[in-house]
């Protein structure tokens, strides 16, 4: 009998999440009921939103319950199906959670989706053509709708969301300036991703401010914020009249034990008649096909690149998650739990 290896949230973190917050268990896989599909996961996704779910307080979704399998995006293959739309061998994406297998009720809308791996590797459905890519697509195409010639800045630029955001903005004729941590990432953002420039926020005090001045000589029209903290303040200080800021995340603040650092330059919104708006990609599940179509075309045409940081083995999940918050991952962070 195949055993399912699962990672449960055992207790809630105070500050930084650690391996001690989780428990690895082995559970027998029950026999399938009518309508169910058994999926063997190949890759699990590691995403910043997971940290928020570990807290007790309700955010845009309910907290992750204690003693249950941690939530998370997954890609894999169907091992066994009692649903007419799926058969063994199908490549599928879903929210299978932190475990090696999942039993999915395929009648639930959106619970399991077949994907085409002819041109796009399976793991990319967790990144460039998955939730992060769609986040970027919605946050640029639907909420901002930029004009050619506008200056777009994006933080966490070498990550899955940032990479896609930049590619989508370049395709629309914008000047795109990334912000990332370290020379390697910045070189990658400019040389591989094709951004116009990238600012290394780790280059020393004042580096972001100076970089924005240098690389956004006409000011900032659009900012897609994944990080919060000082970088958000530095961008606020450089925005143009009628600028639009999307608040997609604030990874610098998620492990805080002290209160969140509010943007002390928020009155720049007033001075510049500018707007700051929050978005949550999970609202737009019905838009996925449209977004994925554009993003996978870019991948095929080489207009977008998706770097992955692959960690091996389910037992590495908690440690790998920490890499996200330390900025140690370089590209979309995924955990490989089975070979295809």
Contact residues toward its own copies (CB under 8 A) are 59-60, 228, 233, 247-250, 253, 259-280, 283
Place of tokens 């300036």: 177
* Rounded CA separation 77/243 (Å): 44
Residue 266 or residue 325: which is nearer to its own copies going by CB?
A: 266
Shortest distance, CB of residue 124 to its own copies, whole angstroms? 26
Shortest distance, CB of residue 5 to its own copies, whole angstroms? 32
Residue 138 or residue 330: which is nearer to its own copies going by CB?
A: 138
Place of tokens 């907290």: 63
Residue 248 or residue 299: which is nearer to its own copies going by CB?
A: 248
Nearest to 223 by CA among 207, 206, 237: 237
DSSP string over 185-236: HHHHHHHTS--SEEEETTSSTTHHHHHHHHH-TT-EEEEEESS-HHHHHHHH
Q: Is 149 exposed, middle or buried (0-12, 13-18, 19+ CB in 10 A)?
A: exposed
Please give the distance of CA 277 from its chain centroid, rounded to a whole number: 18
Shortest distance, CB of residue 275 to its own copies, whole angstroms? 4
Residue 282 or residue 293: which is nearer to its own copies going by CB?
A: 282
Shortest distance, CB of residue 57 to its own copies, whole angstroms? 10
Residue 284 or residue 298: which is nearer to its own copies going by CB?
A: 284
Orientation angle between helical segments 229-236 and 207-215, nearest 10 degrees: 40
Shortest distance, CB of residue 150 to its own copies, whole angstroms? 18
Nearest to 164 by CA among 280, 282, 299, 309: 299
Shortest distance, CB of residue 155 to its own copies, whole angstroms? 14
Q: b/e per residue, 304-340, with b = 16+ CB within 10 A?
A: bbbbbbebeebebbbebbbbbbebebbbbbbbbbeee
Residue 48 or residue 331: which is nearer to its own copies going by CB?
A: 48
Shortest distance, CB of residue 286 to its own copies, whole angstroms? 15
Residue 57 or residue 118: which is nearer to its own copies going by CB?
A: 57
* Rounded CA separation 59/56 (Å): 9
């Amino acid at each position: 009998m195949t055993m399912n290896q699962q990672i449960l949230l055992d207790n809630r973190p105070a500050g930084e999440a650690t391996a001690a917050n989780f428990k690895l268990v082995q559970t027998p896989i029950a026999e399938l009921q009518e309508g169910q599909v058994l999926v063997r996961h190949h890759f699990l996704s590691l995403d910043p939103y997971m940290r928020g779910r570990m807290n007790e307080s309700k955010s845009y979704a309910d907290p992750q319950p204690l003693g249950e399998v941690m939530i998370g995006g997954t890609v894999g293959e169907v091992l066994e199906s009692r649903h007419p739309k799926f058969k063994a061998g199908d490549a599928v994406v879903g929210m299978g959670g932190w475990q090696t297998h999942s039993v999915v009720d395929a009648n639930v809308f959106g619970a399991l989706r077949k994907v085409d791996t002819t041109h796009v590797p399976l793991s990319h459905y967790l990144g460039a053509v998955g939730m992060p890519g769609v986040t970027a697509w919605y946050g640029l195409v639907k909420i901002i709708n930029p004009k050619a010639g506008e200056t777009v800045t994006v933080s966490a630029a070498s990550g899955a969301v940032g990479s896609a955001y930049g590619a989508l903005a370049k395709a629309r004729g914008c000047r795109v300036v990334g912000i990332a941590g370290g020379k390697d990432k910045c070189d990658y953002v400019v040389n591989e991703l094709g951004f116009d420039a990238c600012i290394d926020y780790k280059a020393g005090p004042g580096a972001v401010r100076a970089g924005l001045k240098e690389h956004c000589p006409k000011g900032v029209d659009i900012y897609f914020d994944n990080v919060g903290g000082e970088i958000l303040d530095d961008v606020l200080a450089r925005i143009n009249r009628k600028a639009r800021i999307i608040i997609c995340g604030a990874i610098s603040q998620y492990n805080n034990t002290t209160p969140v650092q509010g943007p002390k330059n928020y009155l720049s919104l007033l001075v510049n008649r500018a707007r700051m708006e929050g978005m949550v990609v999970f609202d737009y599940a019905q838009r996925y096909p449209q977004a994925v179509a554009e993003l996978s075309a870019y991948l095929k045409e080489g207009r977008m690149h998706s770097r992955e940081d692959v960690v091996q083995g389910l037992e590495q999940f908690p440690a790998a998650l920490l890499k996200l918050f330390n900025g140690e991952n370089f590209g979309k962070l995924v955990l490989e739990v089975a070979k295809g």
